[in-house]
Structure formats: structure tokens, C-alpha cells
Amino acid sequence: MDFSYIDKLLQDNHRLKAILLLRDPRGVLSSHINAKNFRLNRADAKSLAEDAEVLCSRMERDIKAAKSLLVLYPTRVKIIQYEDFDDPVRKLKKLYSFINMDAGRLPLKLVSKNHNVAQSSNDRFRDMFSYRTKLDWRTVQMLDSHCRNVILELGLVQYKDEKHLRNVSQSPIIDALPYSLEAHYQPQFGFLFR
């Protein structure tokens, strides 16, 4: 659902809360290419560019709408990033708290099983940015050009060259994720970290 439609829902239901989940568009496109049910051909540059254009223009609109809604409903709207879930159990507990649900209802065994909680945070981090080894350099360049504003908004690196892309020892995060669950939005200042 386009996030701009959420305003009316929030007006009509004062108990409703809204969460916008964002993900690095390079990771999204990589998933589109590798998903069995999503017919996107990695060799079709035109289709990839069209998908990137649609994806990133939609993300830009959603971010703009969500930021406006954060001003109106600071306790009822949250923007989060997929890349922030390096510790899925802890982060899901924070989300449950935001939506006023008992974290005891959180299916921890299911989360642990599906996300291999025993896996190191470095491995989970590497998995979140697996597009760095899966996408070809030309596709990443195309995405970086179509999605420049979104990538920067998400606090992520634009790669200088293929060597930079493939060097997984270098963090793809510029400083900190602006939409981390540890960040707190204040309309006059933007996102501050606690």
C-alpha cells in the first residue's frame, strides 16, 4: 500500500499504528532477480532499469509521506530499516513494544529457527548485504544512479568501483542507519540516536 494512504487510516482509527519498512533497493532488486515467483531477468537491462525506477520512486514517495506522518503522529508512526535487524529477537521485541503487544507472544522459537540466532551478527550483517556478491557491477551502477536519493536517505554507501562493492570487510553503512529502531525522530531535528 502506498504510505500516503495511511493518513486517512490514522485519522479514522486512533489506536492504529503504522510501520514503514525500508530496505536497500540493491537488496530488493537482488531478491527480485533471485525469487522464483518474481519474473525479472538479470540479463534484461531495460527491465532491471524499469524495476529500479518504479521501486525507488515509490520508496521516495513513501519516505516523504512517512516523515510527514511522523510530524502529525509521532507516537503512532515508525520508519524502520531491514538492515537494522542484525539482532532479530531484540529488534522484534522493540517493535512489539511500539505496537503495544506483549513480547511474550513473539514466536521466539520461530524467529530463532528461521533467522539462525546462533549465527554471528557479522554473518547476519553479511547476509543482509548479500547483493554485494550476487549482483553484477553494471546492475549495481544502474541502481546507484536510479536510486541515489534513496540510498543516501538510508545512510548507505554508493560504491566507487567493483572492488569497493566486493570488499565485504568494508561496511556499506555510512555512519549509522537513520531509521534504526534506536533512532528517535524529532520533527525539528530529524532522527537522533539514543
R_g over Cα of the chain: 17
DSSP 75-133: TTEEEEEGGGTTSHHHHHHHHHHHTT--GGGS-HHHHHHHHTTTS-HHHHHHHHTTHHH
Confidence (pLDDT) at 86: 83
Direct distance between the N- and C-terminal alpha carbons of the chain, in angstroms, rounded to an integer: 30
Confidence (pLDDT) at 183: 74
- pTM equals 0.84
Confidence (pLDDT) at 90: 85
The Cα 131–Cα 140 span in angstroms is: 9
Q: Nearest Cα to 15, choosing from 101, 76, 105?
A: 76
In the chain, domain spans: 3-193
Confidence (pLDDT) at 194: 44
Q: Is 153 helix (H, G, I), strand (E, B) or coil?
A: helix
**pLDDT tens string for the chain (194 positions)?**
789 899 999 999 999 999 999 999 999 998 888 777 766 666 677 888 888 999 999 999 999 999 999 999 999 999 999 999 888 888 888 888 898 888 776 666 555 555 554 455 555 566 789 999 999 999 999 999 999 999 999 999 999 999 999 999 999 999 889 999 887 655 555 555 44
Confidence (pLDDT) at 79: 95
